Amino acid sequence: MKFFLDTAEIDQIRHYAASGLVDGVTTNPSLIAKNGGDFIATIKEIAGIIPGPVSAECLATDAETMEKEGRYLAGLAENITVKVPLTVDGLRVCKALSDDGIMVNVTLCFSAAQALLAAKAGAAFISPFVGRLDDLGESGMSLIASIRTIYDQYAFDTEILVASVRNSLHVVEAAELGADVATMPPKVLAQLYKHPLTDKGLADFLADWDSTGKARSIV
């Protein structure tokens, strides 16, 4: 499974990119505005830090303007993935851009039917929002399972990018279901490292070593 960071915080992206665990980044205008950065400059900077796909979202909602924005965004860097909403206009733009070899991430997916349309439109990624479905009392992971079944049945190349990830359990369940990507805020990626028995085991090991009276160094 690939790990994407869902953030526009440059310092956090640099920090986790250095770990070698981050394969891409997803952004949106709200995340960039929250950090007070210039939209285009921020996209360019992130694309220079992360060699993998960096999703940059169109602001327009009509097909004609959205396509112009998408082509402009795709021209900012080779690893830009144009992000469009799962609407009629968004799917039209997805088809037009993907036919020209531009990666497209179709976002705001909440049903298997929508995911099927995105795959037929040539999307590189489909972004089902599992956390928002859970908030409504629906099962976000059931949606991931349904999309996986459909995509495998017809050998679609579209990658399932699990979005609206709220915790480490979402990541693990998505991996078990065969999702291709999970995009998550930095705090969720940090949760994946943590387990109390790991902390306890390390503390016990260090206490045992300290009892020998030797320095904590082997070089």
Which residues form the catalytic set?
83
DSSP of 143-199: HHHHHHHHHHHHT---EEEEBS--SHHHHHHHHHTT-SEEEE-HHHHHHHH--HHHH
Query: What is the rounded CA–CA span in Å between residue 154 and residue 151?
Result: 5
Residue 173 CA to residue 178 CA, distance in Å, equals 9
Distance CA 74, CA 26 (A): 14
Task: Write down how long the chain is.
Answer: 219
Two structure tokens written together for 136: 């409504």
